[in-house]
Amino acid sequence: MSLPSNLKDLYLDWLQELIDSLGSHQDQLKITYEKAKRNLASTDGVFVYPNDLLKISGIGNAIMRRMEKKLATYCKGIGCNPPTMAASSETEDARTGSKRSMTTLRSNSTLGDGTNEQPVKRKKRKYIPKKRSGGYAILLALLESKAISRGLTKDEIIENGQKFCKTSMAPNYATKEMYGAWSSIAALKSNCLVLEEGRPKRYILTDEGMDLAKTLKSADNIVFPDEYISNQMMNNNNQVDPNEEFSADLSTLYPENKKSTMKRSYSSSLLEITIHQQNSSPVFSRPENTNIFTSSSKGTPNQSTRPLSEGNTNSDQEKIIRRRFKGTSYELWKRDAFEILPIIDHREVKSKADREFFINAFERKGMKADMKQLALGDIIWVARHKISGYQCVLNTIVERKRLDDLADSIKDNRFMEQKNRLEKSGCKHIYYLIEETIGSSIGGMGEALKTSLWLILIYYRFSMIRTSNSDDTVEKLFALHQVIKKQYEGRDLIVLFPGELNSQDDYKKILSFFKEEFERSNTVECCHSFECFQDVMGKGDMKTVRELTINVLMYIKGVSLEKAIAIQNVYPTLNHILMAYKECKNDEEARLLLFKQLGNAPGAKKITKSLSAKIAETFT
């Protein structure tokens, strides 16, 4: 049995089958198919191959592919081959006497001389970044720091590469420059010039990236300030495993009469060793003709080399002590080696017309502050090392809310999501700063607000600061800043540099582990680096399957955090939920599925019949 010369009627029948197969909730798709059928029916002509349907208004690639599948099934049923494009063109030519399609002419021209020459493919152009562009600066910054086996963080690359770039490497939110030259990192990664590894993220040069960076450096006659020293360090590194960590043989740094004072009996506590060695820490520079480095365990995150500013001596450098504990690298910052300052999220503004209100207000009070996009919280306090410039996140974080914003966050479940992430930060002092402005509209949310404030204070054990307006907020934050500065005057800091974190839970776990080991007195405090905080604590970063399932469930109106957790305990993943609904015999069973499971659950975990039906409608 052969196909008819015109398949138009078959295509119309198949479109009607698609329309009949749609459900009641697929109205938009039904309208699309009906429009395609009407236009096809009103168009004269011969339609053989499904591609012929593309000239009909309302028929696109999706419908064409469905018709192609229908045609293949039909041809298989009657025992014939589906028409090919060439056959379709020849039939059309024979019937109408028209010229052959361009596709047929091309195929015949290649077959006429007996050759099967393929069209010449244009060779992909090699990526070379423009001079003084973002990609150019990133490559040179990585080359200067010898980021081959040990990578640099984003902030280190921005700091070291800015001198090679004519535009700002970092975004400037104050001038509405939302993207800096750093965005060129995507092109470098896609062209295999830079590799991204670890968590927090670090960037290293590939062999191709190293060759290109050297070519750019040579072409523009660039000489790095510390090129001679860097070359010597590179030669020494080639003699050992690049993944090994180095520690100093302290005995080579002191006269013979002082060596005996450095011999100490080891104790089980690394805290005691670290504290005892504060006054005898090594200078982290290589003396001439002296080999003081010995191989240690696995590598530590790369610390970029920064020249000492004027007036800095070796005694200043001695304030950084580098160690490893249970596979995690850390630094000990002495109490007079860092300064305390707050970082304000750039989205925290008084009004659209006064976006830098808080920064300017703090400056008027003689208080240093910085503005960046924060992964968590609205204001955090950091310690910045006076020599290296590294920053670490201290144990204080503030979430600023106006009353109307707090009410909105309760409605859309942001309140619970923020609360969970704040708890994972590991900060001891978490503050909710509530601005009770006169113009705040809470829209009948009074009772919900009272409950939330009670939960913040009593159940979650967060602290609360209540202010009347933005000016009052500045005064309260300034007072808090003075307390924090006073608190850290007599404390040293242990700054963690973990190599790989798999989740936000790991972030808190490793911090708690260090606190148990080192914070045995009030003279030491453990904290993560600012880069690690930014990389790990983002809203959408490093979520587990459990967290993703709960978050998806909370998008359904009426599903609170407690209800989502209860559902997730029964159905661990979204796949379990979908399979459960798939196994339901009818719609009624699907609508009552969760009601039967959690209809008698206590308190806020209870699922009503109406909510169960709404969830079923979402997943079926």
Instruction: Kindly list the catalytic residues.
Output: 405
CA distance 283 to 113: 78
CA-to-CA dists, residue 544 to 177, 331, 467, 551, 554, angstroms:
33, 30, 37, 11, 15
Sign of CA dihedral 247, 253, 257, 261: negative
The DSSP-derived string for 271-306 is: HHHHHHTGGGPPPSS--TT---EEEEEE--------
Contacts of 498 (CB under 8 A, 6+ apart): 200, 328, 329, 506, 510, 528, 532
CA distance 499 to 297: 13
Length of the chain: 620
CA distance 297 to 324: 9
CA-to-CA dists, residue 561 to 46, 138, 408, 564, 568, angstroms:
59, 43, 16, 5, 10
Measuring CA to CA, which residue among 402, 420, 282, 421 is closest to residue 349?
402
- Helices in 437-556 by DSSP H: which ranges? 446-454, 470-487, 504-518, 530-536, 545-554
Task: Note if the bond before 200 is cis, omega within 30 degrees.
Answer: yes
Look up residue 267 and give its DSSP letter: -
Specify the 3-state DSSP secondary structure of 445.
coil
